[in-house]
Structures are given as C-alpha cells and as structure tokens.
Amino acid sequence: MSAPATQAQEPASREDRGAPAYDEAWFAARAQAGIQRLKAYDPGHDLVALRRRFGEANLAELGSNENPYGPSPQARAAILDSLHALHRYPDPLGADLKRALAAKHGVDVAQVQLGNGSHELLMQLAQVFAGPGDEVVFSRYGFAVFALATQAAGATMRIVEALPRDAAMPCGHDLDAIAAAIGPATRLVYVANPNNPTGTWFGREAMIAFLDRVPADVLVVMDEAYAEMAEAPDYASALSLLGRYPNLAITRTFSKAYGLAGLRVGYLLAQPGLVQVMDRLRESFNVNGPALAACVAALADEAHLDWACARNAEQRAALAAALQQRGLRVFPSQTNFVLVEFGPRTAQIEAALVERGVILRPMAGYGLADCLRISVGSPDENRRLLAALDQVLT
Ligand SMILES: *Cc1c(COP(=O)(O)O)cnc(C)c1O
C-alpha cells in the first residue's frame, strides 16, 4: 500500500520544481504533425450516463443511426454458438465471412477485406495511400471520418464546397466540383453515397460521369454505409462498376441496416491487389470471433434485412411528414436518418429534448449549427420524439 502513495505524491513535487504538466498539450507537441492538428471524433452525448439517469426504457436514442429493431435472431444464435471458443483467436482471415460476402456481391473472395467497423477501413485507406504532401479530396458535410483519416495520415485535406442548401440535394456532394478539385497531389477521394449527415445520394449516370473524370491513379473510396436502405430509383450502388474502374473501392458496414453496430464489422470491396496492400497494415485478428459468426448468419437472413429496411423506409416517410407538418424543413434522405432545420433556437431545442430523454445529434461540428440529425426510430420512439418536440416547440 505504501508504493502507490509515494507515486501519487511524486507529480506534485515535480511540479514544485517547474516540471511540465504532462497534459494533452505537452503530449500533442510530441505527436506526429498530422495528429497535432487532429480533433478527436465527437461521438455525441454520453449515452451511458444518460441511460443511468433516465433508464434505458425511457430514452429515445436517435443520435447514432442505429437499427432500432436489432439484428437477425440467427445472428444472436450464432453469437451464443461461438462462445465455446472464446479462448481461441478468431480466424485471422475471416474466410467464412469473406466467402459469404463475395457470394452475395458476386465478387472474388480476394476482393474482400474485413474491418473492425468500416471506420477502421476508412482510416487505413488514408494511412496506406496518402501521407505528408499528398492531398485527399472530399465534400463539405462529408462523413466526419474522412477528415480524421486524412489528418491522421498526415495528408492535406481538400474540402470541396457542397451543393447549396436550396438544391434538390441540399448540402449533397457536388461531384463536378469534386472531380475538378483533383490535382497532381491527390491520392485519394472519399465519397459517401448516401452521405451522412446529409442523407443525400446520387445515381448511376452521375457516378459514371464522375468516375470517368477521375485520373486512373487516384483512388476513389465510395462509402456505402447506408446502401441497403436506399431504394430511390435514382440511387445506385457502385458495386456493378467495380470491374470497370480498378481505382474504385467500396466500403460497407454491418452497423446500420444489419443492426450489428455493437460488434464492429465493416468490409471493403476492391481489386485483389488493393486488398493485399491493405492487409499489410491490418491487425492480425481485427474482427472478433462472435462478430464473424454473427455476420455470416446475418447475411444468410435476407428476410430480416428486407423487413428492417422496409420498416425503416415506412417510418422515415412518416417521420419526415410529421416533422414537415410542424413547419420544419426536412432534407431528402435515403438512409435511416433525416437532417432537419430547426433554425436559430436549434441548440436550446436540442438541450430541451435531452431533458425529456430524446437524444438527437447536434450538427454544429459539421458546420450545420441550425440543424439536427434524427435517426429514424421504431414507431414508439418516433412518437416519443414528436410528443417531446411538441412540448419544446410551443
Ligand atoms: C456509420 C457510418 C460508417 C461506419 O460505421 P462502422 O460502424 O464503423 O462500420 C461509415 N460511413 C458512414 C457514412 C456512416 O454513417
């Protein structure tokens, strides 16, 4: 017991001698240049504390675009089944899951890479393909991880102005401007379709016109985290274009439509050579055993996926209509969230909703301080949101 006490006293005596504080600033000054400028990912509210305060059942958690219905029951069963092997390392190749994904998407197994969430893959793409002196291009209001990944790699961000607020796709990607921003230093372009937090999307013709303009040695990363939920006739996945554009990489996730955010699994589809180079950086057991088993089972249960996506589309339309009835502007969306304009009182409205157990995502960090991003919840959650909103807006 005496040793810890001595250690605890030590910093005070050092401070007396004018030693540094060893605080964030001190360590940041010793970090590599990209990290020095980096701001950590903002995960939103402290949900663990809010659950403790309100009780989980009294909270409408609509801030993180999770699937309110949860995963396929078969995924739960597969997790329980996998528990006998917790003392074993997982398959470092994730071979069963890669085979299932390859079969589902009609690609070769060698074209699939697994990540601990697609967040990990987005980070690794920049780390592998861009560094100091290189540029990474992406849109304003593009997914927050694009900026994190670029800076963590020490590369330079080239942020392209988005479409205007009064456009048909408000704040959406301006693909022409993105293509025009690509220069000799550009190594990587991040595009999200549909995009978070705007919910905006684009279709096949626009995508082809864009990809035709991207130089063959510049990598295009198409983040399709919400692809399963997009059903508009003018939306298209880039999947069918993988063979035509070898510089294209697509990321997807089990966190959203599949309802497995807690397991952290994403995947990448690209050329086998790209996957091989990405593999050099991958932590050997980056996806855990229960997660691998659950995702294989989730892929096999297409009925559950279709059911969850249909519920989402129906609830999204109902929620958007109800918000519009209350005089709010709702951005178009092909995802499981809507971006909504709340005007100059946005911050107060958001705080008042938290006090009523309704958690939305503030958008000030994205430069959209007058908007909130609302995940489409279950019918009950959406009702509670609207009831709380009616109290707060009057
Ligand atoms: C949620 C999200 C992801 C990543 O999710 P993971 O849980 O890391 O797989 C990636 N891109 C976008 C646009 C997202 O909204």
pTM (predicted TM-score): 0.94
Mutate to test the pocket of ligand 1, among 116, 145, 191 (most ligand atoms within 8 A of CB): 145
Q: How far is CA 120 from CA 188, 225, 302, in A?
A: 16, 13, 26
Examine the domain organization and report whether 151 and 266 are in the same domain. yes
What does the block give as tokens for 211? 């990809």
Q: How far apart are CA 253 and CA 298, in angstroms?
A: 12
Mutate to test the pocket of ligand 1, among 201, 223, 336, 366 (most ligand atoms within 8 A of CB): 223
What does the block give as tokens for 287? 């996806």
**Which range marks the domain in which residue 365 is found?**
47-68+303-393
Tell me, in angstroms, the distance from the centre of ligand 1 to residue 28's CA.
27
Which atom in ligand 1 lies closest to the alpha carbon of residue 143?
13
Q: How high is the pLDDT of residue 189?
A: 98
Examine the domain organization and report whether 58 and 119 are in the same domain. no
Whether 160 and 166 have beta carbons less than 8 Å apart is answered as: no
Tell me, in angstroms, the distance from the centre of ligand 1 to residue 29's CA.
30
Examine the domain organization and report whether 267 and 314 are in the same domain. no
Examine the domain organization and report whether 110 and 130 are in the same domain. yes
Examine the domain organization and report whether 286 and 332 are in the same domain. no
Examine the domain organization and report whether 64 and 149 are in the same domain. no
Which atom in ligand 1 lies closest to the alpha carbon of residue 256?
1
Residue 317 lies in a domain: yes
Q: How far apart are CA 123 and CA 125, in angstroms?
A: 6
Task: Please report, for the domain that includes residue 162, its CATH number.
Answer: 3.40.640.10
Which atom in ligand 1 lies closest to the alpha carbon of residue 254?
9
Amino acid making up residue 193: N
Query: What is the DSSP pairing of strand 266-269 with strand 248-253?
Result: antiparallel
Mutate to test the pocket of ligand 1, among 67, 114, 119, 121 (most ligand atoms within 8 A of CB): 119
Tell me, in angstroms, the distance from the centre of ligand 1 to residue 371's CA.
20
Which of 271, 301, 331 finishes a domain?
301
Residue 343 lies in a domain: yes
Cβ neighbours of residue 301 closer than 8 Å, sequence gap 6 or more: 72, 73, 74, 75
Whether 169 and 332 have beta carbons less than 8 Å apart is answered as: yes
Nearest residue (by CA) to ligand 1, atom 2, is 225
Q: How far is CA 24 from CA 27, 29, 33, 43, 300, in A?
A: 5, 9, 15, 19, 46
Examine the domain organization and report whether 54 and 124 are in the same domain. no
Which residue ranges have their beta carbon within 6 Å of ligand 1?
65, 117-119, 143, 192, 196, 223, 225, 253, 255-256, 261, 266
Tell me, in angstroms, the distance from the centre of ligand 1 to residue 373's CA.
15
Tell me whether residue 294 is exposed, middle or buried, using C-beta atoms within 10 angstroms of its C-beta: 0 to 12, 13 to 18, 19 or more: buried
Tell me whether residue 78 is exposed, middle or buried, using C-beta atoms within 10 angstroms of its C-beta: 0 to 12, 13 to 18, 19 or more: buried
Which of 301, 320, 351 finishes a domain?
301
Q: How high is the pLDDT of residue 280?
A: 96
Nearest residue (by CA) to ligand 1, atom 15, is 196
Mutate to test the pocket of ligand 1, among 195, 196, 228 (most ligand atoms within 8 A of CB): 196
| Alpha helical stretches, state H, 55-199 | 73-82, 95-105, 118-129, 144-152, 175-181
Q: How high is the pLDDT of residue 11?
A: 55
Examine the domain organization and report whether 272 and 308 are in the same domain. no
Does residue 332 sit in helix, strand or coil? Answer: coil
Q: How far apart are CA 148 and CA 247, in angstroms?
A: 22
Examine the domain organization and report whether 377 and 288 are in the same domain. no
Q: How high is the pLDDT of residue 110?
A: 98
Tell me, in angstroms, the distance from the centre of ligand 1 to residue 3's CA.
45
Nearest residue (by CA) to ligand 1, atom 13, is 196
Q: How far apart are CA 59 and CA 376, in angstroms?
A: 14
Task: Please report, for the domain that includes residue 374, its CATH number.
Answer: 3.90.1150.10
Tell me, in angstroms, the distance from the centre of ligand 1 to residue 130's CA.
21
Give CA angle at 25 (24, 29), nearest 5°. Answer: 115
Residues of the chain with pLDDT under 50: 1-6
Q: How high is the pLDDT of residue 3?
A: 46
